[in-house]
Chain A
Amino acid sequence: MKKGTQLWLEALKEEGVDIIFGYPGGYVLDIFDELYKQNDIRLVLPRHEQAAVHGADAYARATGKVGVCVATSGPGATNLVTGIANANYDSVPLVCFTGQVPLELIGNDAFQEVDFIGITRSICKYGVMVKDRKDLGRIIKEAFYIARTGKPGPVVVDLPANVMKEMEKDSYPAEVHIRGYKPNSDVHIGQLKRAVKLLKEAKRPLFLCGGGINIAHANEAFLKLAEAVQIPVITTVMGKGAIATNHPLYVGSMGMHGCYAANKAVSECDLLFSIGTRFNDRITGKISEFAKDAKIVHIDIDTAAISRNIKVDVPVVGDAKLAVEKMLTMVKQCDTKQWLEKIQCWKKEYPLSVKQGEKVNPQKIIEGINHVFDNFIAVTDVGQHQMWTTQFLELDENKKLLTSGGLGAMGFGFPGAIGAQIACPNKQVICITGDGGFQMNMAEMATAVAWELPIVVLVLNNSFLGMVRQQQQYFCEKHYYGTCLKERISCHRASCTAPEQCPPYIPDFLKFAESYGVEAFRVTEESEIEQTLQQASSIAQQKKAPVLVEFILERYDIVLPIVRHGGTLDNMILEEN
């Protein structure tokens, strides 16, 4: 006879889980007690459940395995919500186990009871409460299967405390059969042939790669394809790294803060060959003007993503890697010489840059990373630093980027870096974050120290919630309301233009780091960037501890270009106003 928690543990081991991110509580006591009795699975204890789910998320992104997190009922579960939505929008395989009050208390407004399956219904791939001990094994099996197959995503499994206590004579099932869930495992060859025919006929073809390329591990095959046909490549934010950024065919990332050449190329191509993107509003701009001269091919694993936002001429449903590999045998080189030259001209016309001010230029920081590190995982938070990273960071098979693309969840960066570093202990993990986003989850410094993680944390401090501030600059007549992180109750709007009167920034990040016994540097001169990065990395590796580097930026730096919300892609704001 096996207790529910025993079968749960057996299931995790069967699924190859060796790390879980979890926070204890009353209704997961038995689960934690089960974990206590074994050594195969390690528990990462964060300081907030949100960090547990972001950590598991980044762990999954870095390894390709299913990330696992555990939280207790009620507030423990509700603290997971942002992280579940984040994993859902970026298609990350995750299984989230939540404690629940015993079945007989459900519906009684019991202590720490919430209808978590109800709460997460619209933000996860699948959610289920185990109401019968006999179903426990099957449900966990299905949860892992659903999370990792098809278009991956988070699955929530709610575990009432009494079910986990009950005894049953059973073992973890070997097979899974779900009659309502049959993920696509093949590619329609007829559709692929039609797509390839368009490719051959096109004069100005363009590849648009979304996150699907990275998720399907189609990078290698895609590189071969791009080189075979000699077609330029642009990416979405999530697709960045689909092809090495220094590859001659790579143009840049596109969309709201994409590069001029990439956005021009979309607007002027005659065939947009897209793979693994859902044509989110951040990349399309005004729908009616998007790639308006082009036929559009769309390869995606998700039928519902096809012709939802953008009307597609040739839809191909299937796994990106499988589709790209099949195409390799069907294509030959296209004559794109003139088209490539044209794109090169656009690249030279408006190269990406951040205007030089008196303080540290963020472009130089990211370029510093490019010079100093050749084997890393960069994890960003959300905001201006994230866009600068996607604009300037060089990626290849040894340099990876993890970022919260779809949900744009501030607070992801630091716990994400922790998950990535635990997943890949031999890689240098670099957390690139802003002063706003870092503060959302900076209590995780304790987790990073406890786990002896040599993360280099780069805080790009402009003492503003910079991305919102720059939108206020352009679209709200410079009404900087609720975005200044120096602001205090005593501040007067009238004297706001005199920076010398501003109160000092809080917190002092160096003292913050010190309180965790973490070494920290403040960089105010560009000449110090590379040397400090190098030093931070070697101290981190040597001491097996995180190192924090704060960069003092110009307060009013902006990310350019900008495509207005709902504006046309080739009508970019290229200059500061």
Chain B
Amino acid sequence: MDMKKRWLAVFVENQVGVLAKVSGLCSSKLYNIESITVGTTADPTISRMTFGFLSNDATFEQIKKQMNRCVEVIKVIDLTDIPTHMKELMFIKLKINSPTEKEEVISIAKIFRASIIDYDMERIILQSVNSEIGNDDLIRLLSKGFHDIEIVRGGVVSIEAMSISNG
């Protein structure tokens, strides 16, 4: 139906239990969180959370209203349809079996603007700062050629854009 990926920035009190409160709210109502990141803001008493949900219009409306009801939630911003800068940090550790494979990884990294941040004789670590979809694509591509892959995804952070949309 109207299922699609949605994004929220939620400003909350930077206190013990607030993450549990907000994520508990989601689980108690069966809203599945696809991605969540939390960090403090310029004001150390406030944390900013970025949520990614896959949901329909009605459920997403409820999610926003329910979050707004929480005493600990200061502000909720719907980032879904506004220009933003949205990035996810991802590390990928790959096992390299031959010089050809190494070459291949280096060229893929170049195209995806990922950097090689560490290596030894058998393995390489890539660091990718990309959109969630860009990181999905990178994983899909690497999965085709490599089998021994370790992936660490950091979740998406997002900030409202000024002059450039979706940079």
| Residue B105 lies at the interface, judged by CB distance under 8 Å to chain A | no
| Residue B123 lies at the interface, judged by CB distance under 8 Å to chain A | no
A180 and B62 contact, CB distance less than 8 A: no
Q: Name B66's contact: one of A117, A121, A129, A304 (CB within 8 Å).
A: A304
Given A121-B24, A304-B62: A180 and B72 interface contact (C-beta under 8 Å): yes
Name 11 extra pairs, CB < 8 A, besides A118-B20, A121-B17, A146-B71: A121-B20, A122-B25, A180-B70, A180-B71, A180-B74, A181-B71, A303-B69, A304-B65, A307-B58, A307-B61, A308-B65
Q: How far is the CB of A138 from chain B (nearest CB, A)?
A: 13
Residues of chain B with a CB closer than 8 A to A118's CB: 17, 20
> Closest residue of chain A to B29, judged by CB?
A122
Measured CA separation A131–B15 after assembly (Å) = 11
> Closest residue of chain A to B73, judged by CB?
A180
Q: How far is the CB of A149 from chain B (nearest CB, A)?
A: 11
Contact with A along B68-103 (1 / 0, CB 8 A): 111111100000000000000000000000000000
Q: Which of B24-57 contact A (CB under 8 A)?
A: 24-25, 28
Measured CA separation A121–B16 after assembly (Å) = 13
A122 and B24 contact, CB distance less than 8 A: yes
Measured CA separation A447–B97 after assembly (Å) = 78
Measured CA separation A181–B58 after assembly (Å) = 24
Q: How far is the CB of B157 from chain A (nearest CB, A)?
A: 22
The list of the 4 closest CB pairs from A to B, nearest first, reads A304-B65, A180-B74, A122-B28, A126-B71
B62 and A178 contact, CB distance less than 8 A: no
B71 and A178 contact, CB distance less than 8 A: yes
Residues of chain B with a CB closer than 8 A to A302's CB: 69
Measured CA separation A146–B70 after assembly (Å) = 11
Contact with B along A289-323 (1 / 0, CB 8 A): 00000000000001110011000000000000000
B25, B62, B71 pick with most chain A CB within 10 angstroms: B71
How many residues of B are counted as interface, with CB atoms below 8 angstroms from the partner's CB atoms? 21
B70 and A303 contact, CB distance less than 8 A: no
Residues of chain B with a CB closer than 8 A to A146's CB: 71
Q: Name A125's contact: one of B12, B16, B17, B71 (CB within 8 Å).
A: B71
Residues of chain B with a CB closer than 8 A to A131's CB: 16
Residues of chain B with a CB closer than 8 A to A303's CB: 65, 68-69
| Residue A179 lies at the interface, judged by CB distance under 8 Å to chain B | yes
| Residue B132 lies at the interface, judged by CB distance under 8 Å to chain A | no
Measured CA separation A405–B37 after assembly (Å) = 38
A180 and B13 contact, CB distance less than 8 A: yes
Residues of chain B with a CB closer than 8 A to A125's CB: 71
Q: Name A121's contact: one of B12, B21, B61 (CB within 8 Å).
A: B21
Measured CA separation A180–B12 after assembly (Å) = 8
Q: A-side interface residues toward B, CB under 8 Å?
A: 117-118, 121-122, 125-126, 129, 131, 146, 178-181, 302-304, 307-308
19 contacts between A and B (CB under 8 A): A118-B20, A121-B20, A121-B21, A122-B24, A126-B71, A129-B17, A131-B16, A179-B74, A180-B73, A180-B74, A303-B65, A303-B68, A303-B69, A304-B62, A304-B66, A304-B69, A307-B58, A307-B61, A308-B65
Measured CA separation A308–B58 after assembly (Å) = 8
Q: How far is the CB of B72 from chain A (nearest CB, A)?
A: 6
Measured CA separation A121–B71 after assembly (Å) = 12
Measured CA separation A146–B71 after assembly (Å) = 8
> Closest residue of chain A to B27, judged by CB?
A122
Residues of chain B with a CB closer than 8 A to A178's CB: 71
> Closest residue of chain B to A118, judged by CB?
B20
> Closest residue of chain B to A308, judged by CB?
B62
> Closest residue of chain B to A306, judged by CB?
B65
Residues of chain A with a CB closer than 8 A to B73's CB: 180
Q: How far is the CB of A125 from chain B (nearest CB, A)?
A: 7
Measured CA separation A117–B15 after assembly (Å) = 13
Measured CA separation A146–B69 after assembly (Å) = 11
Measured CA separation A179–B71 after assembly (Å) = 8
> Closest residue of chain B to A155, judged by CB?
B71
Residues of chain A with a CB closer than 8 A to B28's CB: 122
Residues of chain B with a CB closer than 8 A to A181's CB: 71
Q: How far is the CB of A255 from chain B (nearest CB, A)?
A: 22
B17 and A117 contact, CB distance less than 8 A: yes
Measured CA separation A181–B68 after assembly (Å) = 9
Residues of chain B with a CB closer than 8 A to A179's CB: 74
Residues of chain B with a CB closer than 8 A to A129's CB: 17
Q: How far is the CB of B56 from chain A (nearest CB, A)?
A: 13
Q: How far is the CB of A524 from chain B (nearest CB, A)?
A: 47
> Closest residue of chain A to B68, judged by CB?
A303
Residues of chain A with a CB closer than 8 A to B20's CB: 118, 121
Residues of chain A with a CB closer than 8 A to B17's CB: 117-118, 121, 129
Measured CA separation A261–B134 after assembly (Å) = 60
Residues of chain A with a CB closer than 8 A to B12's CB: 180
Q: How far is the CB of B74 from chain A (nearest CB, A)?
A: 4
> Closest residue of chain A to B67, judged by CB?
A304
> Closest residue of chain B to A151, judged by CB?
B69
